[in-house]
Amino acid sequence: MINKNSKIYIAGHNGMVGSAIYKKLNEKSYQNLIIRNRKQLNLLDQKKTFAFLRKNKPDFVIIAAARAGGIIANSKFKDKFLYENLQIQNNLIHGAYLAGVKNLIFLGSSCIYPKHCPQPMKETYLLSGPLEDTNDAYAIAKIAGLKLCQYYKENLNVNYFSLIPPNLFGPKDNYDTNNSHFFPALIKKIYFSKINKKKNLTIWGSGRPKRELMFSEDFAEVLIFFMKKKLKTLI
For residue range 14-29, list pLDDT tens digits in order. Answer: 999 999 999 999 999 9
Catalytic residue positions? 138
Four-point Cα dihedral 182, 184, 188, 191, nearest 10: 110
Looking at the domain assignment, is residue 18 inside a domain? Answer: yes
pTM of the full predicted structure? 0.91
In total, how many domains does the chain have? 1
Residue 203 forms part of a structural domain: no
94 falls within a domain: yes
Average pLDDT over residues 34-49: 98
How far apart are the C-alpha atoms of 166 and 213, rounded to whole Å? 6
**Stretch 98-113: mean pLDDT:** 96
The domain that contains 127 carries what CATH number? Answer: 3.40.50.720
- Asked if the structure places residue 31 within a domain, the reply is yes
Range of the domain at 63: 8-170+213-229
- Residue 117 within any structural domain of the chain: yes
